[in-house]
């Protein structure tokens, strides 16, 4: 890496083609980013496997830094979670989604929901329920158009409080899905105990579905089990037609991945 101009804390990583922040600098920059709302929401289509039509979109945050360009969530979310800033960022994202929902529907009247990632701290944040109630009123929205994605790892802490909040969120009329399914430790327990509508099968199962018999068998079994529990299944990270076709044969309900579309900013 080479040093850039007057900033001693910024390094340019040639291999990744992106700036590397020190942790302290990142936290400072994030504080400014929150004040100025430098976050943009990208939307990636989630496609009905059978009809091959867009069913909904997952909202994925991008940080557009005024000098350093686009910073991916993998770079800043772990730091924002550790510093506590993720709660504020997430609320900006949620509001942005609510704000954009009518535009998304007008662009694609058949779409049924926007799916928003909710972090561990975001779930147990004291005012989350009130925050969502206020937003529904402010934007005059039907909660059935919003889905929240929670990951298994986000549920490890404070499980009682988490289940309580998720139950409330469901009662309000929002949908709920379990993200990155299969990568955590107590997956089956969560399938049983959380008020879920969907599970999202992690990309790591899909990657080798064509060549690895065991991955294929796992995917098949997870889809069957989920269906028996009354849950819909989304296959994540689908990049090829062959992967799509295999998932369709296994009766996976929805497909998400570069094969159908990358996350993109909303056109206006
Ligand atoms: P995730 O929730 O599992 O989101 C899916 C990630 O996989 C996204 O990465 C998406 O761009 C990527 N992806 C989708 N299809 C494909 C594919 O076919 N191939 C490959 N290689 N990748 C694919 P992204 O946008 O970089 O987000 C990374 C993670 O950051 C997300 O993983 C999620 O955990 C977190 N994240 C993103 N946006 C938000 C947000 O608004 N709030 C919270 N709390 N977390 C977010
Ligand atoms: Ca997700
Ligand atoms: Ca995922
Ligand atoms: Ca993931």
CA distance 26 to 68: 12
Question: Residue 4's pLDDT is what?
Answer: 43
Q: What is the whole-number distance in angstroms between the Cα of residue 74 and the centre of ligand 4?
A: 9
Whether residue 53 contacts residue 110, with contact meaning beta carbons closer than 8 Å, is answered with: yes
Q: At what angle do helices 73-83 and 23-36 cross, to 10 degrees?
A: 90
Question: Residue 183's pLDDT is what?
Answer: 85
Ligand 1 pocket, mutate which of 16, 44, 60, 155 (most atoms under 8 A from CB)? 60
Question: Residue 21's pLDDT is what?
Answer: 77
Report DSSP state, residue 153. Answer: G
- Residue 58: partners with Cβ closer than 8 Å, 6 or more residues away: 43, 44, 46, 114, 115, 116, 117, 149, 256, 263
Query: Could you give the C-alpha distances from 195 to 21, 150, 166, 171, in angstroms and in order?
Result: 39, 11, 7, 9
ipTM of the complex: 0.98
Ligand 1 site, CB within 6 A: 44, 59-61, 72-74, 77, 90, 93, 117, 119, 179-180, 237-239, 256-258, 263
Which helix (H) or strand (E) covers residue 58, if one does? strand 54-65
pLDDT in tens, the chain (268 residues): 344 443 444 455 545 555 667 888 999 999 999 999 999 999 999 999 999 999 999 999 999 999 999 999 999 999 999 999 999 999 999 999 999 999 999 999 999 999 999 998 888 888 899 999 999 999 999 999 999 999 887 777 788 888 999 999 999 999 999 999 988 766 788 888 899 999 999 999 999 999 999 999 999 999 999 999 999 999 999 999 999 999 999 999 999 999 999 999 997 5
Question: Residue 8's pLDDT is what?
Answer: 41
Question: Residue 15's pLDDT is what?
Answer: 53
Length of the chain: 268
CA distance 26 to 22: 6
pTM of the model: 0.93
Residues measured by CB to lie within 5 Å of ligand 3, the ion = 179-180, 236
∠ CA 111-74-52, rounded to 5°: 25
- What are phi and psi for residue 120, nearest 5 degrees? -55, -50
- What are phi and psi for residue 116, nearest 5 degrees? -115, 130
**Ligand nearest to the backbone CA of 73:** 1
Q: Do the bridges between strand 146-151 and strand 113-117 make them parallel or antiparallel, or are there none, so unpaired?
A: parallel
Q: What is the whole-number distance in angstroms between the Cα of residue 117 and the centre of ligand 1?
A: 9
Question: Residue 1's pLDDT is what?
Answer: 38
User: What residues form DSSP beta bridges with 47?
Assistant: 54, 255
CA distance 214 to 229: 22
Which helix (H) or strand (E) covers residue 59, if one does? strand 54-65
Q: Tokens 């147990």 map to which residue?
A: 124
Q: At what angle do helices 23-36 and 86-107 cross, to 10 degrees?
A: 50
Take residue 242 and report the two structure tokens written for it.
């062959």
């Amino acid at each position: 890496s080479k040093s850039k101009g007057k900033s001693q804390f910024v390094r340019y990583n040639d291999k990744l083609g992106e700036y590397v922040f020190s942790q302290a600098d990142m936290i400072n920059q994030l504080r400014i980013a929150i004040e100025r709302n430098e976050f943009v929401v990208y939307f990636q289509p989630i496609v009905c496997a059978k009809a091959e039509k867009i069913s909904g979109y997952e909202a994925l945050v991008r940080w557009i830094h005024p000098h350093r360009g686009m910073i991916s969530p993998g770079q800043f979310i772990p730091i924002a979670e550790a510093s506590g800033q993720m709660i504020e960022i997430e609320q900006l994202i949620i509001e942005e989604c609510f704000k954009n929902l009518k535009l998304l529907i007008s662009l694609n009247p058949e779409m049924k929901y926007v799916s928003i990632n909710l972090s561990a701290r975001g779930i147990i944040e004291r005012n989350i329920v009130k925050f969502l109630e206020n937003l529904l009123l402010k934007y005059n929205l039907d909660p059935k158009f919003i889905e929240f994605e929670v990951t298994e790892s986000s549920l490890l802490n404070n499980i009682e409080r988490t289940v309580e909040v998720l139950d409330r969120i469901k009662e309000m009329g929002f949908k709920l899905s379990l993200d990155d399914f299969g990568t955590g430790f107590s997956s089956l327990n969560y399938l049983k105990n959380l008020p879920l509508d969907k599970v999202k099968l992690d990309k790591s199962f899909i990657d080798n579905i064509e060549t690895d018999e065991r991955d294929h068998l796992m995917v098949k079994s997870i889809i069957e089990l989920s269906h028996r529990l009354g849950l819909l299944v989304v296959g994540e990270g689908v990049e090829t037609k062959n992967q799509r076709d295999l998932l369709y044969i296994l009766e996976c309900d929805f497909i998400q991945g570069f094969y159908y579309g990358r996350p993109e900013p909303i056109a206006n």
